[in-house]
Amino acid sequence: MMLGIIFVVYQCLQIIALPIVGLYLVVRRFKGKPVFGNVAQRFGLVPRVSAGKKSLWLHAVSVGEILAVQQLVADLKEKNPDAVCYVTTGTVAGHAMACKFLAADVVSFLPFDFLIPMVMVFKRVRPKALMIVEADLWPNLIMIARWFKVPLYLLNARVNPRSKKRMKFFTWIYMPLLNAFEHIFAQSSDDVQAFEELGVRAAKLSVLGNIKAFNVVAKRDQLVPCVRQHARKNLVLLVGSVHAGELDYYLKLFATLKPLYPSLKLVLAPRHFNWLAQLRASMAATGYASLVWDEQCAQLNSAVDPVREITETILQQYDIVSVCVLGKLFGLYQLADIFFLGGTFVPVGGHNLLEPAVWGKPCVVGPHHANCQDHADRLEQHKALVKVANYDELEQQVRLFLEHNERRMQAGQNAANWLGNEAVMVKKNLDQLFKQLN
């Protein structure tokens, strides 16, 4: 009954908003910004699944969600070899990443959430089940799935404080939509409790764990460890995704500690490469031997392993190395004795904490870690991460890690244990989901 009311209200609001939406898209197009992706797909003309074929539909809105489901898609294909794995995404960047990294049979843009395009996509895909990752809750998508009797699953669902406030204000909309799902697999028990407080029936809820942990373990296992046996020659501080405004913190830290620990090395992996001139100048100003190691410098080719080259050659010649080659940070975690999360000493909010954790690296984060608050809190609870508020605390904590090897190594082991347990839980719960899809 409530879904029917929402359906009517939603269609009326869409009719009213259509001219505004159209104008917005035209303005974006005029400014040269991505608008449609594939126009035909946005209006429902998505690739058609052949008659008689079973399709399993997975929707992941953008880059973060796409990268989180790499292993899920691979396992889905392995356990359902005769089914069509159909992936939709909501952004141009997400679509590009899905085409590049997912082993899906079909990758398409999700149509705009208007009635006719959404009916068309269900007619053309004919899914046996629809899995939505995280929180891309489009009313027509959900309601039409119900009317076509397509089981709905919400994966990796979570309720952060900001979204919880919004959901409570619009509870009359969110509660029926969320209860339309066959099952909601939440990231944590706290998220399960939050969904229950919003009115979702307890029988529809269970803890999945963080699917990104499951994916990052698989990613690590596919990468042959190439530097562990060499990294112990030096003590390595690794700053991942560092931003310009916080560079001086880490250079000062290194200059202070290097006289005390002669084998100490600093490896920087900038988040962006548009400030390399400043980076070179700041590194040179320390007086230590430094190198900005970019693609030209590395002379990348199929026969060269850049991470091994840095470990075996570059770090023997230089004290400070900035790695400015895209896609190499994940391998670089193997180098680190202590990892520092970039974007946390500037008001950016931080980046990925699961990747250093999967390599068993103790982490240090600054005061601005809102983008990874949940992971930071959990790692801190497991004594795998230290939060610092300023430079003095940063130096103090790093000194403790360097002076007490057992403490540093235990923190790294705690990180690996937490992430490994999370991945095992996710795999177990996904296996239960896959059984329901057969």
Strand 338-341 relative to strand 127-133, pairing: unpaired
Q: What is the DSSP letter of 244?
A: G
**Domains 26-219+424-437 and 222-420 in one fold:** yes
pLDDT in tens, 334-374: 889 999 999 999 999 999 999 999 999 999 999 999 989 88
pLDDT at 303: 44
pLDDT at 306: 63
Percent of the chain scoring above 90 in pLDDT: 64
Kindly indicate the confidence band of residue 146, based on its pLDDT and cuts at 50, 70 and 90.
very high
106-109, strands of its sheet edge to edge: 106-109, 84-89, 55-59, 127-133, 152-157, 183-186, 205-207
Better-scored residue on pLDDT, 50 or 385: 385
pLDDT at 230: 46
Better-scored residue on pLDDT, 302 or 129: 129
Whether residue 4 has pLDDT greater than 80: no
pLDDT at 224: 64
pLDDT at 301: 41
Residue recorded with tokens 């879904």: 3
Pick the CATH number of 222-420 from 3.40.50.10470, 2.50.20.10, 1.10.10.10, 3.40.50.2000: 3.40.50.2000
pLDDT at 223: 78
pLDDT, mean of residues 122-129 = 96
Torsion over CA of 346, 350, 355 and 360, rounded to 10 degrees? 70
pLDDT in tens, 197-234: 989 999 999 999 889 899 999 989 887 665 554 445 78
pLDDT at 193: 93
DSSP characters for 236-296? EEEEEEE-GGGHHHHHHHHHHHTTT-TTEEEEEEES-STTHHHHHHHHHHT-S-EEEEEHH
Whether residue 300 has pLDDT greater than 70: no
Question: Which range has the worst mean pLDDT, 1-10, 125-134, 345-354?
Answer: 1-10
Percent of the chain scoring above 70 in pLDDT: 94
Return d(Cα 296, Cα 112) in angstroms, integer: 43
pLDDT, mean of residues 21-36 = 74
Average pLDDT across the chain, whole number: 90
Return d(Cα 231, Cα 219) in angstroms, integer: 21
pLDDT in tens, 241-272: 999 999 999 999 999 999 999 999 999 999 99
Whether residue 139 has pLDDT greater than 80: yes
Better-scored residue on pLDDT, 310 or 41: 41
What residue spans define the domains of the chain?
26-219+424-437, 222-420
Q: In sequence order, which residues have a C-beta less than 8 Å from that of residue 253 and are 6 or more positions away?
A: 237, 391, 394, 395, 398
**CA-based end-to-end distance of the chain:** 30
Interhelix angle 2-30/139-147, nearest 10 degrees: 140
Is residue 35 classed as helix, strand or coil in its secondary structure?
coil
Structure tokens at 401: 């890690």
Kindly indicate the confidence band of residue 321, based on its pLDDT and cuts at 50, 70 and 90.
very high
**CATH class as words, domain 26-219+424-437:** alpha beta
Q: Is the dihedral of CA 397, 402, 272, 252 positive or negative?
A: positive
pLDDT, mean of residues 289-316 = 71
Return d(Cα 239, Cα 338) in angstroms, integer: 9
Structure tokens at 23: 């104008």
pLDDT, mean of residues 114-141 = 94
Q: Quick check: 335 and 355 in contact, CB under 8 A?
A: no
Return d(Cα 419, Cα 423) in angstroms, integer: 6
Residue recorded with tokens 């959404």: 118
Query: What is the pTM for the complete model shown?
Result: 0.83
Kindly indicate the confidence band of residue 437, based on its pLDDT and cuts at 50, 70 and 90.
confident
Q: In sequence order, which residues have a C-beta less than 8 Å from that of residue 10 and are 6 or more positions away?
A: 139, 140
Q: By C-alpha distance, which of 416, 436, 376 is closest to 206?
A: 436
Q: What is the DSSP letter of 175?
A: H
Distances (CA, A) of 95 to 219, 262, 397: 20, 47, 42
